[in-house]
Amino acid sequence: MALVTEIAVPPRARRRAPGARHQAGSSLLFALIALVLLALAAIGVTRSVNTGSLIIGNLAFKQEVALAGDRAAEAAIAWIQASASGTTLQADAAASGYYSTSLDALDPTGRLTDVATRAVVDWDMDSCAGVGGSFSSCISPSNEVNVSGNRSRYVITRLCAAAGDPNAVGNSCMSPLISSGPDDQNRAGYDYSKPISLGDVTAAPLYRIVVRTVGARGTTSFTEAIVHM
């Protein structure tokens, strides 16, 4: 009687289908490529979001600095209005940042370094130590106006050739053109048969207000306004 012995074949010894190992390697390669593409897409989206946030932040910062400059200009206008009575505006008030002449050589930004006869502003209250180049005079600005961390100072100049009475003989002040005669009622067009006489020597002079604002991030902004009271 013959004995029959059954031998079990381990699973690892079974023959694989042709090309199975090659197909497994290709899938891994495609998976790695997909991961790289997804990573690049994620980086692109992140950078796009960061750039958008930076732009929005810069716009908000710019608007905030502009509003702070407007507040400082309003404070300067209020000072002029409060000083309009009497002869206060006919003389310099350096402690308030007011000057009764036009200061034609004024260099509010301090960038005209090649002009030795310029007048610069002591914005940083350090006797103009931070101003480059030569200058002939260093004038004082107003006290600081602080709006939400934005620090502003201003300088007011009366657009007159000399101090004193703006209507005095020999003094010349810039004033707005106003009609000294009846207005032309012909609104449809110009009527050269009805000329308008412009100018009035008794009109109040114009005032120039220069504001420097230092923002919360250290950025400096300059604004200027011409006002008439």
* CA-closest candidate to residue 143, choices 129, 158, 122: 122
Q: How far apart are CA 172 and CA 45, in angstroms?
A: 63
Residue 99: band (very low, low, confident or very high) from pLDDT cuts 50, 70, 90:
very high
pLDDT at 92 over 90: yes
> What integer pLDDT is reported at residue 43 of this predicted model?
79
Q: Which of 51-65, 167-181, 187-201 has the highest mean pLDDT?
A: 167-181
What pLDDT, on a 0 to 100 scale, did the predictor assign at position 63?
A: 74
How far apart CA 97 and CA 143 sit, in angstroms, is 8
Residue 197: its pLDDT value, please?
A: 42
Q: Is the pLDDT of residue 140 over 70?
A: yes
Mean pLDDT of 3-14: 53
Residue 51 zone, left/alpha/beta (φ > 0; ψ -120 to 50; rest):
alpha
- Per-residue pLDDT tens digits for 42-63: 777 777 666 655 555 566 667 7
pLDDT at residue 198, as a whole number: 44
Burial of 145-166, coded b for 16+ CB within 10 Å and e otherwise, reads bebeebbbbbbbbbbbeebeeb
Map out the domains of the chain as residue ranges. 44-181+196-228
pLDDT at 227 over 80: yes
Mind listing the pLDDT tens digit for each residue in 10-42?
Answer: 555 455 555 555 555 677 777 788 888 888 877
pLDDT at 23: 54
Is the pTM value of this prediction over 0.75?
Answer: no
pLDDT of amino acid 196: 45
Strands 106-107 and 119-121: parallel
The residues pairing with 173 across neighbouring beta strands, listed in sequence order, are 160
DSSP 180: S
Higher per-residue pLDDT: 99 or 130: 99
Q: Per-residue pLDDT for 224 more than 80? A: yes
* 83 token code pair: 């000083």
Q: How far is CA 123 from the centre of its chain?
A: 16
Share of the chain above pLDDT 90, in %: 41
| pLDDT at 124 exceeding the cut of 60 | yes
